[in-house]
């Protein structure tokens, strides 16, 4: 989320462009879910531009914003990390994915039963959604999304996890003060870090097709 509809739209387009570059550079299909995350972040910015243009309220864009912000990352991030992770890290990441799925189920139910409302507050947007046991849901969300990065077994993803934890706290504090929304800049930085991760990834193993030159088939 940015400080205006125009800023949201521009930031969303820029982050999505980084997402396209990430996906285009993937050399192992197991990296694809995590590499595509900037596409989701970019779409989220564009949706908020629509929310701002509509003046907030309870329209479809507000609901879409909540879906992308709440249940989707709780599953997408740990699932993407699990797909890309080394074998030795997969057991603990499977547990984090299970926590994400459980958290996402409660969040999705809250969004579905609504109402979800948005209120323009100067250079920020406030969203309201009635959810049971918010501290538990926040803990489950962070455990799945941030914890999976920190426990990924990958040095670059560990760095991204630290960035997400520190950056999200700072953005949240500025948003709570209704000073200015900096989530769009945060999303852009995370997307660039993911692009660096994709570029540094080794190519996946390819199984030679039968009958290839120099390959025994029998």
SS3 127: strand
Arithmetic mean of pLDDT over the chain: 86
Beta-bridge mates of residue 57: 118
Is 207 contained in some domain? no
SS3 string, 54-71, reads CCCECCHHHHHHHHHHCH
Q: How many domains does the chain have?
A: 1
Which domain range does residue 68 map to?
5-200
Is 103 contained in some domain? yes
Phi and psi torsions of 83, nearest 5°: -60, -40
Is the separation of the CB atoms in 149 and 158 below 8 Å? yes
Beta-bridge mates of residue 126: 119
**pLDDT of 215 higher than 60:** no
At 109-137, the pLDDT tens digits run 999 998 999 998 877 888 888 888 888 99
Is 135 contained in some domain? yes
Residue 64: what pLDDT? 96
Is 218 contained in some domain? no
Burial code (b: 16+ CB inside 10 Å, e: under 16) for 13-42 equals ebbbebbebbbeebebeebebbbbbbbbbb
84: confidence class by pLDDT, cuts 50, 70, 90: very high
Other CB atoms closer than 10 Å to residue 206's CB: what's the count?
A: 8
Run of H or E including 53: helix 37-53
Is 30 contained in some domain? yes
Give the 3-state secondary structure percentages of the chain, helix then strand then coil, rounded to 5.
70, 5, 25
Average pLDDT value for residue range 156-169: 89
**pLDDT of 209 higher than 50:** no
Residue 212: what pLDDT? 43
Nearest 10 degrees: Cα torsion 36, 104, 9, 49: 160
Average pLDDT value for residue range 81-93: 94
Phi and psi torsions of 149, nearest 5°: -70, -45
Is 149 contained in some domain? yes
At 58-77, the pLDDT tens digits run 999 999 999 999 999 999 99
Is 111 contained in some domain? yes
Is 123 contained in some domain? yes
At 19-42, the pLDDT tens digits run 999 999 999 999 999 999 999 999
Run of H or E including 129: strand 124-129
């Amino acid at each position: 989320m940015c400080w205006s509809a125009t800023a949201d739209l521009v930031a969303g387009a820029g982050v999505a462009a980084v997402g396209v570059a990430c996906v285009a550079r993937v050399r192992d299909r197991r990296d694809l879910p995590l590499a595509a995350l900037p596409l989701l972040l970019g779409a989220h910015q564009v949706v908020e531009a629509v929310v701002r243009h509509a003046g907030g309220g309870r329209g479809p864009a507000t609901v879409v914003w909540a879906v992308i912000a709440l249940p989707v990352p709780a599953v997408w991030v740990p699932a993407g990390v699990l797909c890309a992770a080394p074998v030795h890290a997969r057991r603990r990441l499977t547990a984090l994915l299970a926590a994400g799925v459980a958290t996402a189920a409660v969040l999705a139910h809250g969004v579905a039963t609504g109402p979800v409302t948005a209120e323009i507050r100067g250079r920020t947007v406030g969203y309201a959604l009635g959810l049971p046991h918010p501290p538990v849901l926040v803990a489950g969300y962070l455990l799945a999304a941030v914890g999976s990065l920190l426990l990924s077994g990958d040095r670059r993803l560990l760095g991204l996890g630290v960035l997400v934890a520190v950056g999200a706290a700072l953005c949240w504090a500025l948003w709570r003060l209704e000073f200015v929304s900096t989530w769009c800049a945060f999303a852009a930085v995370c997307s660039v870090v993911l692009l660096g991760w994709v570029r540094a990834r080794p190519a996946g193993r390819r199984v030679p097709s039968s009958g290839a030159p120099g390959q025994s088939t029998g």
